[in-house]
């Protein structure tokens, strides 16, 4: 049982773990999960080497309130600062681990499942980036099907319906599992024969649903076009044997899935497009916190914002949950 599990090893996630260490929590009681093979992946991938990582960003004041703080630094200097934070605080960071499921027990502790392991923890903090855009198919989706052709499974309530899921990765499997649990008739269209992009847990879960006749899988199938028929999606397959079939909904899982959908699947309530946050960035799920970009609105915040949000969340975690002590002067 960990005291704190952090999802995301960017500036917000690293600073969250550092705040916990400075609050007196032993490093063996903290774990950070990162889906990439290195920390601060977005900075390393999207920032040019010559670009300054600025402390003051988009109008947010560069005033530090927690343990971690930086001035304007180069990309290399910023990465070095975060490297040292991980090393000096003896943080356990598990790379290439994608969280695909989370369950809260009756005692309010959590079970977090990844493509590699299952973790038990008292508190969860999500420190991932701002919302992205899902990939779309190469054929046109009629405008009058915008409420029937979807890119997630939470924006519209789907129950007791005939649903086609399109894709072959982890999101496709997770959508099928979610939809089947809600009493839907689920069909999956995948252009290949074997599911090589899924982790073992998702692949086994999907194949078990197929064996139980809860999901029908159309392997080596490709959609040629999508049209509206009696206000429902009429799917025309390229394969003559499949022909045209009508569904209540078509759900695309073609990559680029958004954190919004991920957060909703974890049970976090939203007010419009933004998650509902209580004091110190706690979500509607007790003991589940957000930090970093997800607390700063749709445009995201600065690295200083990420650091400060971790400090704010840690204060409430110590006060209400872990009985640790945090008393850091604003600076």
**DSSP assignment string, 47-75:** S-TT-EE-SSBTTB-----SS----SEEH
Residues 6 or more apart in contact with residue 87 via CB below 8 angstroms: none
Tokens of 96: 């290439």
Assess if CATH 3.20.20.70 describes domain 2-132+259-322.
no
Is the pTM here over 0.75, yes or no? no
Model confidence at 197, in pLDDT bands (50, 70, 90)? confident
pLDDT band at 329 (very low <50, low <70, confident <90, very high): very low
Please state, in angstroms and as integers, the Cα–Cα distance from residue 122 to each residue in 9, 242, 321, following that order.
Answer: 19, 49, 8
Q: What is the dihedral of CA 152, 153, 156, 160, to 10 degrees?
A: 150
For 46-55, 180-189, 233-242, 275-284, which range has the lowest pLDDT when averaged over its residues? 46-55
Q: Where exactly are the structural domains of the chain?
A: 2-132+259-322, 143-252
Beta strands, E only, the chain? 2-7, 30-33, 52-53, 73-74, 93-94, 99-104, 110-114, 118-126, 149-150, 162-166, 185-189, 215-218, 223-229, 232-237, 244-246, 249-252, 270-271, 274-275, 288-290
* Cβ–Cβ under 8 Å, residues 137 and 252: yes
SS3 assignment, position 10: coil
Domains 2-132+259-322 and 143-252 share a fold: yes
**Residue 50, pLDDT score:** 55
Reading the block at residue 154, the tokens are: 């939470």
Q: What confidence category does residue 133 fall into, taking pLDDT thresholds of 50, 70 and 90?
A: low
Average pLDDT over residues 154-178: 89
Place of tokens 């079939």: 245
Specify the 3-state DSSP secondary structure of 126.
strand
Handedness of CA 43, 46, 48, 51 (dihedral sign): negative
The fold for domain 143-252 equals FAD/NAD(P)-binding domain (3.50.50)
Q: DSSP secondary-structure letter at 281?
A: G
Confidence of residue 115 (pLDDT cuts 50, 70, 90): confident
């Amino acid at each position: 049982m960990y005291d704190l599990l952090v999802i995301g090893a960017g500036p917000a996630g690293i600073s969250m773990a550092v705040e916990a260490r400075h609050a007196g929590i032993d490093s063996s009681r903290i774990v950070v999960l990162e889906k990439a093979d290195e920390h601060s992946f977005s900075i390393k991938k999207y920032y040019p080497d010559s670009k300054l990582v600025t402390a003051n960003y988009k109008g947010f004041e560069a005033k530090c309130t927690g343990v971690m703080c930086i001035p304007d630094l180069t990309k290399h200097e910023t990465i070095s600062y975060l490297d040292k934070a991980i090393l000096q605080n003896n943080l356990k960071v598990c790379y290439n681990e994608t969280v695909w499921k989370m369950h809260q027990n009756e005692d309010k502790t959590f079970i977090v499942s990844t493509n590699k392991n299952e973790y038990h923890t008292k508190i969860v903090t999500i420190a991932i980036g701002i919302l992205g855009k899902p990939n779309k198919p190469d054929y046109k989706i009629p405008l009058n099907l915008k409420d029937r052709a979807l890119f997630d499974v939470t924006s519209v309530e789907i129950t007791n319906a005939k649903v086609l899921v399109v894709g072959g990765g982890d999101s496709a499997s997770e959508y099928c599992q979610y939809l089947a649990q809600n009493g839907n008739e689920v069909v999956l269209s995948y252009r290949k024969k074997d599911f090589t992009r899924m982790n073992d847990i998702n692949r086994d879960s999907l194949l078990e649903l197929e064996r139980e006749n809860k999901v029908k899988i159309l392997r080596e199938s490709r959609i040629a076009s999508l049209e509206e028929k009696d206000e429902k999606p009429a799917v025309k397959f390229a394969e003559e044997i499949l022909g045209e079939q009508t569904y209540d909904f078509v759900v695309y899982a073609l990559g680029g899935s958004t954190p919004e959908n991920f957060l909703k699947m974890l049970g976090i309530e939203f007010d419009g497009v933004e998650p509902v946050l209580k004091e110190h960035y706690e979500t509607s799920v007790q003991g589940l916190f957000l930090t970093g970009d997800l607390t700063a609105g749709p445009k995201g915040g600065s690295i200083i914002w990420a650091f400060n949000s971790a400090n704010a969340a840690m204060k409430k975690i110590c006060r209400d949950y872990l009985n640790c002590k945090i008393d850091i002067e604003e600076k």
